[in-house]
Amino acid sequence: MDIHSLSTSERILLAEQLWDSVHDKSDEITLTPEQKELLETRLAAYEEDGDPGDTWENVRARIESSL
C-alpha cells in the first residue's frame, strides 16, 4: 500500500486504526526495568513538584509567535 496515494483524511483514519490496534494489545507491551525506573523517577519528580506545566493553548501560542 502506498500511503502517499491516500488523501490526508484517509491517512488520519489509517493512523487512528493503527493506534487502536496497538492500544487494544497494550497488555502485550512490556517495559524494561530501566524504562520502569525512569517512569517511576519522573512520576516522583512530578508529584514532588506538583506543577502540571502549561496549557496546550499557551504552548501553541508561544510556538506560533516564535515562527
Which pLDDT tens digit goes with each residue over 22-41? 888 888 889 999 999 999 99
Question: Domains of the chain: which residue ranges?
Answer: 1-29, 31-67
How long, in residues, is the chain?
A: 67
pLDDT at 62: 95
* Per-residue cell: 36: 520502569
Residue pair 24/13 in contact by the 8 Å Cβ criterion: no
pLDDT at 24: 84
> CA dist 40 to 4, 45, 46, 47, 54, Å?
39, 9, 10, 10, 22
